[in-house]
Amino acid sequence: MQLLNGKDVAAFHGKRIARQIQVVREKKGIDPELAIVVVGDDAPSVMYAASMKRTAESVGLNARICQEKEGVGEDELLLLIDRLNEDPAVFGILLMMPLPKSIDSQRIINRIDSSKDVDGLTDANIANLYTGREGFVPCTPQAVMAILDYYHISLSGKEVVIIGRSHVVGKPLAQLCLSRNATVTVCHSRTNDLKAVCQRADVIMAAVGKAGLVTGDMIKPGAVVIDVGINRVNGKTVGDVAFEDAALRAGAITPVPGGVGAVTTMMILENVVCGIARTDTIL
């Protein structure tokens, strides 16, 4: 059984991104910046923004946290996005979700210039993904692909079963797998006999948010298991896959923590660099 170590994948990408940012700074005099917009004081969002800033700075990318108060109006937020869209130093805009309920999230997201939408959430980038055009892909599905690539795991012709159909993980993941010529089944809370569906999978990708949902007996011997889930159980972070049990059957498996989550933030930075490369031929 091979452990698919997300920390190694993140380190590999981190080194490459740091080199690219250095080239941009030295050869073009561009000092690129990532803007992270946080609304209110939702603890996970504030923590994630701070950790994102640290990761960005660790690869030499400037990061600015734009903190807005909980009661900020939609118009005020739109103005902030407009300012960031127009700021030539800003190459990526990351909006911490969820926004307060009083705000129409998709309206704010869609105001982000699609060339700075490094989390791939605008309608324009969703359309790009579904039509196979160049654009930004949400960071978590992209992290899954980065892990597969790092370990040279091909999806071509494989039966991939994705559990979860959210807009940010399951659906874009399905699209990425299709684009790699997998035969894709997407499961959800109304799927009949999840176990039987999983048992025929060459690759299982779990993105549900239910600890231990995927057990060893659901896994075809030798299958690849990618665990996207993040759950807190008795003070510990665990995935959607019952790891010990699953590791006895899987051919390769991601741990939680240290799997997909370790790569996700790096994919945002990868997208910032891709955005620079699209506007300039230096990289």
Which of the residues 185 through 224 are near ligand NAP (CB under 6 A)?
187-191, 194, 207-210, 213
Name the 3-class secondary structure at 55: helix
Nearer to ligand NAP, 67 or 166 (CB): 166
Beta-carbon neighbour count of residue 107 at 10 Å?
A: 12
To which residue do tokens 């684009």 refer?
A: 179
CB of 120 to ligand NAP, least distance (A): 13
Shortest distance in whole angstroms from residue 69 CB to ligand NAP: 26
Instruction: Say whether residue 165 binds ligand NAP (CB under 6 A).
Output: yes
The sign one gets for the Cα dihedral 195, 214, 208, 137 is: negative
Q: How far apart are the first and last CA of the chain?
A: 37
State which of positions 222-241 bind ligand NAP (CB under 6 A). 228-231
As measured in angstroms, the least distance from the Cβ of 83 to ligand NAP is: 28
Nearer to ligand NAP, 36 or 276 (CB): 36
In sequence order, what DSSP letters do the residues of 100-148 get, joined into one string? PTTS-HHHHHHHS-TTT-TT--SHHHHHHHHHT-S----HHHHHHHHHH
- Binding residues for ligand NAP, rule CB under 6 A, total 26
Q: Containing H/E element for 26?
A: helix 6-28
Task: With CA atoms as reference, report the closest residue to 155 among 174, 177, 140, 171.
Answer: 177
Tell me: does residue 164 bind ligand NAP (CB under 6 A). Answer: yes
**Site pattern 115..144 for ligand NAP (x: CB under 6 A):** -------------------------x----
- From the list 170, 172, 255, 275, which residue makes contact with ligand NAP (rule: CB under 6 A)? 170
CB of 30 to ligand NAP, least distance (A): 29
| Residue with smaller CB distance to ligand NAP, 77 or 163 | 163
Calpha distance 24→12 (Å, rounded): 19
Q: What are phi and psi of 38, to 5 degrees?
A: -120, 130
Q: Least Å distance between CB 263 and ligand NAP?
A: 8
* C-alpha closest to that of 270 among 17, 10, 6, 11: 17
Q: Between residues 164 and 275, which has the closer beta carbon with respect to ligand NAP?
A: 164
Q: Where on the chain is the footprint of ligand NAP (CB under 6 A)?
A: 140, 163-166, 168-170, 187-191, 194, 207-210, 213, 228-231, 260-261, 264
